[in-house]
Structure 1
Amino acid sequence: MPIDKKQEASAENKKRMILEVSRDLFAKYGFSKTTLDDIANAIGMKKTSLYYYYNNKEAILFDVIQNERKTYLSGLTAAIKSKSKICDKVLEYERAKIKYLRAAINPYDMTVSLYLEIKNKIQTVLEEIIKDEETIVKQIIDEGIKNNDIKKCDSNGLAKSIVTISEAIRYRELYNTSTPKVNQIDFSKVEKDIEFILKLLFEGLKK
Structure 2
Amino acid sequence: MAAVGKRQAGCDGCGQTVPLEELTTVTMPDGDAAVCCPACVPHARAAAEKPASLDQRRGTCDGCTGEFLESQLEAVTLPDGTTVDCCSSCIADAPQRDGDGADETTGADGTESETESLCRQCHELVREELFRVTTIDGRNERLCASCKDEAEEAGVVRDVELRKSRAREILDVEQGASDDAIREAYHEHVKRAHPDHKSGSRSAFQLVKNAYDRLREAEFDR
What is the TM-score with the length of structure 2 in the denominator? Answer: 0.23
When you count strand as a share of all residues, which structure comes out higher?
2
Structure number with the bigger relative contact order (C-alpha 8 A, sep ≥ 6) is 1
When you count helix as a share of all residues, which structure comes out higher?
1
What is the TM-score with the length of structure 1 in the denominator? Answer: 0.25
